[in-house]
Amino acid sequence: MPSPWLNIEVNDDFLKKCDPDAFLINESKLDSSVPTSWYINKKYKILRLDREDKGGGGELVFLKKEYIVKKQEYTDFETISFQLYVDGQLINMLLSYKSPSIDNNEFLEKLENFQMILDPSEPLFIFGDLNMDLKSIRGLDLAHFLMRNGLKNFVNEYTRVCRSFYKEKKKYQTSKTLIDVIISNQDKVIDNKVIGCPFSDHKFLVAALDLSQSKRIPFQNNGRSFSEKNLFLITDLIYYQDFSFDKNDPNVDQIWFNHKTKLLDCINLVAPIRKFKERPQEIAPWVDEELLENLRARDYFYSKYQNANSSLDPEYHLKYKHYKTKCKSLEREKMKDYFRSKKITDFKSNKLYWEFQSTFIKIKSSKTEDFTPNTFLHEELEYEDPVEIGNLFNTFFTNLSSTSLSSEKDCDEYIDKTFARLKSENKIRLKTERFKFVHTNANIVEKLIQNLNSTSGAGFSEIPSKVIKNSYSIIAPILTSLFNHCIDLGKFPKEWKSAIVTPLYKSKGVKSDVNNYRGISVLPPIAKIFEKILAMQISIYLNLNNILFSGQHGFINGHSLLVYSYLLTFEKLLILLILKNSYVSCSTMDSTIQPWT
């Protein structure tokens, strides 16, 4: 619209007749030559950002004085930010303007950097003329920005209709664009209208906003309640189940399925899967909004740095280091101020003590928040859909394998020839019969069950370790019978060979590249027990017959590859010094001590 500096009577008439709660103007064209007293209205406070040159630009906000403005900020990318306190909550509002001459991505990056510092749980509204047509390909950058940040534009109609005469074509043409937006991170835009303006080809945007405080819906997880009482009830139910099966049945998969169904029926009856609300996040008592803003800025620039080529674009790394240092300094100061206000008698209260300690002590169940990219790259392709990302990792991990120039037949022949040679040279003397797996017993199974980690995942079997461990005296005989049947048949249930794989970042390289992840596999706990029984029998056979090389350190109980590498290095160094006729002095050390780094 024409500059309000030149149309004071129009502005005044509009505010008096329409009586809006807020009136926002882009391209006010006000500059330092216009005094702050150019327009005064007793009902409205004015927020003003002047243009930097004689062209367009300039932002202007008329806001009713009854609204409490907690803070306001004027940015370097033609945006006024102000925070309102309404109905017990903070609401962030931005009025932005992007000149057609400014690069889209440059402007959007500054806008993203700014809005990421704001608390994402607070309502956010972005109003303005961004000169990116969301009805055409020219608005793709803005569309990607909205999708990337979980934002939505509530304006669907054309906001600028321009009729121009083209000399070359010798006719008038009408162009329609959607360049004025109302963007929010929540569904609090009740309604909006696009209304024609009699003195501009830009139209008015009128919106009704819901500024009432929303009831916070906590994040929910699916889980079971394994209280001590429930675990005892599950154990009692398992005790009365019949787990017998036909010893002549060769289908171990079906036998295991029947066992698993009975176990899950007992678990579901006592502790069915239900939704659990997340616990409120512990926060230090001295952490205020100022510190939280800087922490959000630090985390944001760290995530940008992780997804950028730092050698080509060090800007994100420098900003991350700046905010990291600032956060440390700011937190120390706020912590000192907090404790200066306390007396020694305050710490006789356990509640106050743990209010302080709980923010620093990391317990095993603590989950640290970490940045996870929304887009992943592989073989020059981008993946954004969660299902596609999951399939990408599945394909990537299943195709990871080592290659060998030798066939399986060549390997078998080499092993047979090597063992035959060692036997003929009397280097291997078998004290027992040819190796074969033998039956296990309930005592061994019980001990292995008791060594299970209660917090380990259930895997594909869906039977938690906590249930197996609590019912060990009842489940051990059941599993012993099943394990011995598998040994007799020489078969391993297919489900026990299936794992749930979680990608884990290797802490190096770009986070959006799947090559920088390794898979963490979670097998069913019962499969782990059976594997340990088989591995134990192989290890006993090898040790009894002295088949293993005395220098073997890998995968041997009581041996360490780290210690072996130290001994090997020391041996080479000793030989080198002796060959050089150097003096050699030795010292002993306890190899169980954690080596220095």
Judgement on whether residues 313 and 449 belong to the same structural domain of the protein = no
What is the predicted pLDDT for the residue at 182?
94
Listed residue (66, 76, 63, 199) closest to 125, CA to CA:
63
Judgement on whether residues 91 and 183 belong to the same structural domain of the protein = yes
Judgement on whether residues 459 and 411 belong to the same structural domain of the protein = yes
Number of alpha carbons in the 13 Å side-chain half-sphere of residue 95? 25
269 falls within a domain: no
Q: Which H, E and C letters describe 179-216, residue by residue?
A: CEEEEECCCCEEEEEEECCCCCCECEEEEEECCCCCCC
Judgement on whether residues 65 and 136 belong to the same structural domain of the protein = yes
What is the predicted pLDDT for the residue at 359?
54
Q: Give the number of other Cβ atoms within 10 Å of residue 243's Cβ.
A: 17
Judgement on whether residues 408 and 319 belong to the same structural domain of the protein = no
78 falls within a domain: yes
What is the predicted pLDDT for the residue at 232?
93
What is the predicted pLDDT for the residue at 362?
47
180 falls within a domain: yes
pTM (predicted TM-score): 0.54
At 591, list the tokens.
Answer: 């190899």
495 falls within a domain: yes
> Considering 165, 181, 209, which residue would you say is the last residue of a domain?
209
Judgement on whether residues 68 and 202 belong to the same structural domain of the protein = yes
Judgement on whether residues 534 and 568 belong to the same structural domain of the protein = no
107 falls within a domain: yes
Alpha-carbon span 469 to 51, nearest angstrom: 71
> Considering 165, 190, 209, which residue would you say is the last residue of a domain?
209
Rounded to the nearest integer, the mean pLDDT of the chain is 82
Q: Is 469 in contact with 449 (CB distance < 8 Å)?
A: yes
161 falls within a domain: yes
Judgement on whether residues 310 and 436 belong to the same structural domain of the protein = no
220 falls within a domain: no
Judgement on whether residues 168 and 80 belong to the same structural domain of the protein = yes
Judgement on whether residues 328 and 427 belong to the same structural domain of the protein = no
CATH code of the domain covering residue 96: 3.60.10.10
Q: Is 217 in contact with 277 (CB distance < 8 Å)?
A: no
Tell me the Cα Rg of the chain: 35
At 236, list the tokens.
Answer: 């009692």
Judgement on whether residues 142 and 33 belong to the same structural domain of the protein = yes
Q: What is the pLDDT along the chain (597 residues), one digit of tens a residue?
A: 445 555 666 677 778 888 899 999 888 888 888 887 777 788 899 898 887 766 667 888 999 999 989 888 888 889 999 999 888 888 999 999 998 889 999 999 889 888 878 888 889 999 999 999 999 999 999 999 998 888 999 999 998 888 777 677 777 788 889 999 999 999 999 999 988 877 777 888 899 998 887 666 666 788 899 988 999 999 999 999 999 999 999 999 999 999 999 999 999 999 999 888 766 555 677 888 788 888 888 887 887 777 665 454 677 888 888 989 998 999 888 888 887 777 666 655 555 555 555 555 444 444 444 556 778 878 878 888 888 888 888 888 888 776 778 888 888 888 888 888 888 887 777 777 778 899 999 999 999 999 998 888 888 899 999 999 999 999 999 999 999 999 999 999 999 999 888 898 887 877 888 888 988 889 999 999 999 999 999 888 888 877 776 666 666 776 665 555 556 566 666 666 666 565 555 555 554 444 433
Q: Give the model confidence (pLDDT) of 33-90 as tens digits.
A: 888 777 778 889 989 888 776 666 788 899 999 998 988 888 888 999 999 988 888 8
Q: Are strands 89-97 and 124-129 parallel, antiparallel or unpaired?
A: parallel
Alpha-carbon span 237 to 27, nearest angstrom: 74
Enclosing domain of residue 179: 8-209
What is the predicted pLDDT for the residue at 142?
93
Judgement on whether residues 456 and 595 belong to the same structural domain of the protein = no
Q: What are phi and psi of 580, to 5 degrees?
A: -90, 10
Structural domains in the chain (count): 4
CA dihedral 508, 512, 515, 517 (to 10 degrees): 60
What is the predicted pLDDT for the residue at 221?
80
